[in-house]
Structure 1
């Protein structure tokens, strides 16, 4: 593992130095003024995430193409006996706050039924852990728990607990469980309200935990459920493309210092109780007090205690719902932003592994890159407009930087698309080669428009943190409903203003020079109609009927997904889509 990490660090370092040198050469005409320095420094801040993503994707693609079992190659742990029953006691933790109860009950019911059908139910207990502040919703939750207990209680006990005061947010919710019931169980399967896992996926994680006593956290690869939302449909198609190569590549060098995403993962309770108690950060303001982004901190604390944290980068059986519209997506991201910025006080924590410190720093840099990117774009535009007596940039190296950065940014998706296109059975599951290519091109434009919108949101929010602005922890929007025009305009006017500025700048430049960046510069001008249109039921139905942005669960749905009564299946015109019969990989298709 040391050789892998040194090799990866070498690749990242060399790439960083080459890109920095290219940018210095590009800015060299006319010497280095204040704007040049701002552009250069801002560019350097944005580089690490971009370069790491590129090398993760490149390594991931190589492993996908040349390993017969990529997931187990990068997660080389004992599988356990896939035919034997589990012997451990596992708590299923459904962590909720002011959620829509009917959808939650459907997810939990299907999971419990799937577990009982597998004949492995006796060692599981379901805990519905509520932090709901709404008394009406809490009453509905109790009735739901009573119904679940009446149906499944003889095989899987169902326990409902509500905290009327909820210090520590979700982490505090789980800590309360550990103090009350943690001693009664070996493992805990952590779920969010929108999580769904099949019995096979759950048992796969539990068996691996049983077979590896030093494994503290095992994270599954959660993918998006088929969605009736146009916004979520396009987003999760892009995520599905990017996650495979990226996660496999990152697992190759992170190894036993893997990530924990806070849900769809199994925890070993004894070390979790002892070693993963989160500190309350001292001081005042939004970055003090309980840690919002608890998951990665718990992962590094588990590693400090000598236990492994691994991700199993294997698609299938582990799902989540994605935000149905842009405003909810931004709200979720800002909560992560506030939580990740709290990590600055943890970087010097005693006993952390070097990789753990790097992970915390990168988690912060993921959001700090947004103001750096905006600073880069605005400064470059000003320099281009004000430098009248000399060319401010070298066009040859500037073009080379642009191509290199775009390649790096989209490398995870490109890598997975290449892998899909050369595998006939996988290509069919994504709707066929032509659909994959068209869907990918459209998703790239979608992502390019989203990037500046998110950068503006992150930057303004981080500026607000200095004045005490906070995001808190509230219920998430789940269903498909058209955003009100007034709300969209109130929330997205900064993005629109950025789009106005970008459009004004574009009009001063030759179209042949700026056309590649039109989605980035002009796209935010359409933030309000973009958000409203993709939130509508009509757009969602049109997306489903088009069969673009299809994911394998729509082509070949696992049986438990039928039982969820997902609106996306109904929109497709058939509640039980005919499965695509995936041909056995031919010798030509199989990796060598």
Structure 2
């Protein structure tokens, strides 16, 4: 969103408004920055990765995906048209084709990512040639603002993480190059007062020389949401780099230094995204969710870095951002319906349009976030992301974007179009089976089963990578526990997909009617979910599941059996939400080390400090 200028704010920073910490320089000073950002081939990752190489890789991935989509589309057409074509067949084929691009690309990313993972350092070098710059002993020479944005969050919980980041950086011996900024958009007076008091107490506990490196600013308004808050900060910042954090983020000092070294070595890097993984979780839902997410993201992100190259992702947090080009080129465009909510991917393509590269470091280590603790919290987050991503449909004419950047925006939208396509396809299956007299149903069911298998491919690749390494198996609790985690998470993922697809479809219908939910603070702490709360939130999903299962049972029991992984999720949505939120189940899984992360089995200092609670962060 175009900003007319900084809004009024309330600041507390060593007696001044956003005073720059000692040693801060104007953004960009100390960098060998050519006038033309595209003209530094030897100091950018693209210089190490020839354009011709990226073009060949992208052509290969495109060809593989088109061939697979064509083959699956032909198989679907044969199955659906076995007894002739009608309107139902056409609609089912359209639904299937809509789900194919996302699913097929996930499969090929899994295949490519697995090969790169098994290649070890050579695979990482092929996908991220810039990563080696982070391994040296070079000291920082760029100042970094560690920035945490808050809006009606628990300040003690959030500041415990920020304080841990600061202490971890101090332990590296390079803490003087970093400062810490709490940027609040809180509109609840009680929470705002708690924020102010918590930051003041934190600063008072620090050595006198360090207090000026911690600032707090609260805006009177919420103009531009998080993106507007960051832009206002960058407009007055005297730092070179920014490390934005969410309220649940945690980045270790070693990880932050690695990112800084890479940014120093490659001045044309505008955004460097770390691979954030889920921190150890207390709730059963979060443990199961992040177990699959972590192992799927590892091969998927590595493959995407291999062919995506300089048009990488930005997830809005746990990334290093070069402030000068961000402030100059990444202001969000105005939209008729209001500010852009999912700002991060738009900022990434705007940074790339300006000639700066956006890269992801596809390596686990030192970058963490919390995942939603319950099904209801997960669905609320998904609905917020869906609403924000669909705004990208209004950006097709944004001038000057690279073709790959336009693909990224389209891909972010397509992710959420899968849900209505899948839900509508399921709803049409009983009609198709009834009108066809059951003919063709087994073929359609087999194709559907193949689709489910393809959708699991990234996770299966990550699981296989761990199982292939003795050290990785040990880090994840041993082969037996890991296999038990795979079984539990696979069942969980089917149930979750069934619930999420129906709920997202209903939400999209609400959006189409011109209504939407308020962008509220995310639930972050483990809690129980009462049956009544789950029923009120999910009764529509359950009704859909009951009607669909009943119709399939009457029309084609074979088809019901084939689609049970998804239909069962909708039917059992309420007990699923209640069971996965049970505190006792989460504790039992933790004791058994089921779906444990390596950081839970051998906790780094930073994870142990955060686990001790706000008082433990000092």
TM over 0.5: yes
3-state SS of paired residue (2:320): strand
In 2, the alpha carbon distance for the partners of 1:108 and 1:491 equals: 33
- Asked if residue 16 in structure 1 is aligned to residue 69 in structure 2, the reply is yes
Equivalent position to 1:120, from 168, 171, 174: 174
Counterpart of 1:341?
390
In 2, the alpha carbon distance for the partners of 1:12 and 1:318 equals: 31
Counterpart of 2:226?
170
In 2, the alpha carbon distance for the partners of 1:79 and 1:96 equals: 32
Equivalent position to 2:346, from 286, 297, 306: 297
Q: Is the 8 A contact 1:481 1:535 kept in 2?
A: yes
For 1:236-385, list aligned pairs within 5 A: 236-282=290-336, 288-385=337-434
Counterpart of 1:109?
163
In 2, the alpha carbon distance for the partners of 1:171 and 1:467 equals: 27
Q: Is the 8 A contact 1:80 1:210 kept in 2?
A: no
Q: Is the 8 A contact 2:280 2:287 kept in 1?
A: yes
- Number of residue-to-residue matches in the alignment: 558
Shift in Å at residue 501 of structure 1? 1.8
3-state SS of paired residue (1:476): coil
Are the structure 2 counterparts of residues 229 and 381 from structure 1 closer, same or farther at C-alpha, using a change threshold of 3 Å?
same
- Asked if residue 473 in structure 1 is aligned to residue 522 in structure 2, the reply is no
For 1:413-432, list aligned pairs within 5 A: 413-432=459-478
Shift in Å at residue 514 of structure 1? 4.0
Q: Is the 8 A contact 1:94 1:190 kept in 2?
A: yes
Q: Is the 8 A contact 1:67 1:73 kept in 2?
A: no
Please, what TM-score do these two structures have when normalized by structure 2? 0.88
Equivalent position to 2:235, from 179, 202, 207: 179
Task: Output one character per residue of 1:280-308: Cα deviation in whole Å (capped at 9) or x when no partner.
Answer: 202xxxxx210000000000000100110
3-state SS of paired residue (2:133): coil
Q: Is the 8 A contact 1:71 1:312 kept in 2?
A: no
3-state SS of paired residue (2:610): coil
Shift in Å at residue 532 of structure 1? 1.5
Counterpart of 2:35?
none
User: Which ranges in structure 1 are unaligned for 5 or more consecutive residues?
Assistant: 283-287, 571-592
3-state SS of paired residue (1:319): strand
Shift in Å at residue 430 of structure 1? 1.2
In 1, the alpha carbon distance for the partners of 2:578 and 2:209 equals: 47
Q: Is the 8 A contact 1:25 1:394 kept in 2?
A: no
Are the structure 2 counterparts of residues 472 and 399 from structure 1 closer, same or farther at C-alpha, using a change threshold of 3 Å?
closer
Counterpart of 1:579?
none
Shift in Å at residue 214 of structure 1? 0.4
Task: Output one character per residue of 1:380-428: Cα deviation in whole Å (capped at 9) or x when no partner.
Answer: 221112323xx54263x43552343122101101111111111001001
Are the structure 2 counterparts of residues 514 and 247 from structure 1 closer, same or farther at C-alpha, using a change threshold of 3 Å?
same
User: Which ranges in structure 2 are unaligned for 5 or more consecutive residues?
Assistant: 1-53
Task: Output one character per residue of 1:425-470: Cα deviation in whole Å (capped at 9) or x when no partner.
Answer: 1001111112222211221111111112111111111111122222
Are the structure 2 counterparts of residues 281 and 90 from structure 1 closer, same or farther at C-alpha, using a change threshold of 3 Å?
same
Task: Output one character per residue of 1:203-260: Cα deviation in whole Å (capped at 9) or x when no partner.
Answer: 1111111110000000000000101111101000011111111111111110110000
For 1:95-244, list aligned pairs within 5 A: 95-152=149-206, 154-155=209-210, 157-181=213-237, 184-244=238-298
In 1, the alpha carbon distance for the partners of 2:287 and 2:506 equals: 27
3-state SS of paired residue (2:572): helix
Q: Is the 8 A contact 2:553 2:560 kept in 1?
A: no
Shift in Å at residue 176 of structure 1? 1.3
3-state SS of paired residue (2:273): strand
In 2, the alpha carbon distance for the partners of 1:509 and 1:550 equals: 42
Shift in Å at residue 180 of structure 1? 2.6
Are the structure 2 counterparts of residues 169 and 429 from structure 1 closer, same or farther at C-alpha, using a change threshold of 3 Å?
same
Are the structure 2 counterparts of residues 515 and 434 from structure 1 closer, same or farther at C-alpha, using a change threshold of 3 Å?
farther
Counterpart of 2:119?
66
- Asked if residue 437 in structure 1 is aligned to residue 501 in structure 2, the reply is no
